[in-house]
Chain A
């Protein structure tokens, strides 16, 4: 009860930011499904298998901590199930998202048998659609979250195989990337036809193209052309903004990322590995920057250290030319102490106002 009262509602703040209008304070962007489950006492699996419970848990948690934007549905292993493989829902103390069990492609011969999934029926998409209908009803941005083109490709044949084939069988990689790219466009088209282009803000998460895995040269050759293509096709549908989560260490890829159209403004979500000034240099003129509080600090950091990290990050990014939303650098760990999540909002209260 000691927070300064907001001047704008969450929706007002978000839509004003997207429209390039002034806002009252830095928004707090959610990347938080597993934590929400723990916070309300649900199993984490419910966040991915039950649209209503997932939406409900996120809504309650966001209200409690003062997050903006609204609930989101998606996970990083997207693509495995949709292309015919299997995933398992998280269980136990440490699993926090669906995990691969079998990949749809296990041999070179499997690649030619791959087909584009039916976006109305495949994998998690019916649950994602049910979730988006709840987003639509609540007046919040309607999102469809899927892996980036390269991540989906890695989720089809495993990242290890994809990396080997980039060197030895690049044609197979291009064949899978072609399907992944067409699939992303198909999904977004289905969402646009259902909700209208104005309402849909696709989120494309790209962890597998991190420089822990691929070189910038490989990024330029295998990733960039497909991103440019799918982005252009999505924007041609009338979608105004695309969120790219540039996950992990991707500093060496940034010159290429800056060439990916993300809308006006685009939404560039960065990991803690990317320095705030660097992010502004590459994306400041075209994108709202989202990030990049280190999840390890949210999980384990002393609250004072986390608070300083948040206020320092706000100071560096608050005046980014197209705007800034504070967020974790990747998903907030489900076992994070509730007080630490509160500290993020407290930092905005103390350092994130625009007056």
Chain B
């Protein structure tokens, strides 16, 4: 608790990052909708069905641990399985930390043909997400639009196993699903820009299904990459300025493809899993802000000292990154992470993260 006094507030720190200036210290940002609920004594389901309580849980937790909302990363805006007619349920019990898919909207080849575009005004949990955005704006924060890559959205419509099979045997089905996925994402995003103005929307995208634990770099180049290019063409056309890309899991072999095109505005925030070396990431993306990448499993099951040391090692590499650096977990902060381990990250920044 004997932490040094900040010389910038969060807004100034974020602005400095996007202006390629050094902030006072390395900012900390977490993907932590579930952890924030637990930390504030609320059930995890609040992250998905109670925007008001979830918003305050995130605000309070950010204050407690000194996190910066760059942006405030909330539950998904587009819940594709639900939006396209499948079924999901809220997390239950001690260990579930997010929505669980009960049934996919697409189960067979013929379902792909029969699939229709959802009405973004009526489907899924979009209403709750919009309410969350209103709370963010009312508190002077950008409204976060949390989406997944078209490849990931498509795989969640039919199930990842089926999608991977079709990549080899029936790629035209994958193409149709990805086309519908990107159209749906932008139909919903249009709601956000209409409601809040493009300049006030911070778009977040994650791409877990594209990791090399699932597909090869060739498959990435052939199937996933073209939709990244299309995504950013459309994002730029809408006038969206701020973009956060969580390149989830082991995507080392995909990075050259992303780097050769890097279709987003610069700087954007690029967040990496613990499988990626931060210095290598910085070489691939010199014009962007690098974010990452403490291993979440260590935060949950490691000792406080291990977390502190891992955060310290990240800071040592990250502080040298010319485009700017944000300290974070390599993916979502586990809901059962001990509070002391989460504080160890804050403490590491206080001890080692000042510029």
Contacts and interface: CB of A to CB of B under 8 A. Distances in A.
5 contacts: A2-B6, A60-B304, A300-B41, A337-B41, A340-B40
Contacts of A338: 39, 64, 339
B18 interface: no
Interface string B333-355: 00000111101001100100000
B4 A337 contact: no
Most A CB contacts (10 A, CB to CB) among B63, B341, B343 go to: B343
Contact of A2 (B38, B42, B63, B301): B63
Interface string B121-158: 00000000000000000000000000000000000000
B3 interface: yes
Contacts of B343: 64
Which bucket holds chain A's interface residue count? 20 to 34
- Pairs of residues from A and B, 4 with the lowest C-beta to C-beta distance, nearest first: A337-B41, A66-B1, A41-B338, A338-B339
A1 B2 contact: no
Interface in B267-306: 301, 304
Contacts of A63: 1-2
Nearest to A6: B2
Interface residues of B, number: 27
Contacts of B301: 41
B76 to A, nearest CB: 24
Interface string B61-79: 1011010000000000000
Interface in B301-347: 301, 304, 338-341, 343, 346-347
A6 B301 CA distance: 32
Contact of A40 (B39, B42, B304): B304
A61 to B, nearest CB: 6
Contacts of A345: 1
A109 interface: no
Contacts of A65: 1
Interface of B: 1-6, 38-42, 57, 60-61, 63-64, 66, 301, 304, 338-341, 343, 346-347, 350
A299 B63 CA distance: 19
A172 to B, nearest CB: 46
Given A1-B3, A60-B304, 9 more contacts: A3-B1, A3-B3, A41-B341, A64-B340, A66-B1, A66-B2, A337-B38, A339-B57, A339-B61
B304 A339 contact: no
B41 A340 contact: yes
Contacts of B3: 1, 3
B187 to A, nearest CB: 37
Q: Is the interface of A mostly helix, strand, loop or mixed?
A: helix
B66 to A, nearest CB: 4
Most B CB contacts (10 A, CB to CB) among A5, A6, A299, A337 go to: A337
A39 B338 contact: yes
Contact of A64 (B39, B60, B339): B339
A1 B340 contact: no
A342 interface: yes
Given A2-B63, A63-B1, A342-B64, A39 B41 contact: no
B69 to A, nearest CB: 14
Interface string A54-72: 0001001101111000000
A39 B339 CA distance: 5
Interface string A330-352: 00000011111010010000000
B306 to A, nearest CB: 11
B338 A38 contact: yes
A303 B40 CA distance: 8
Contacts of B338: 38-41
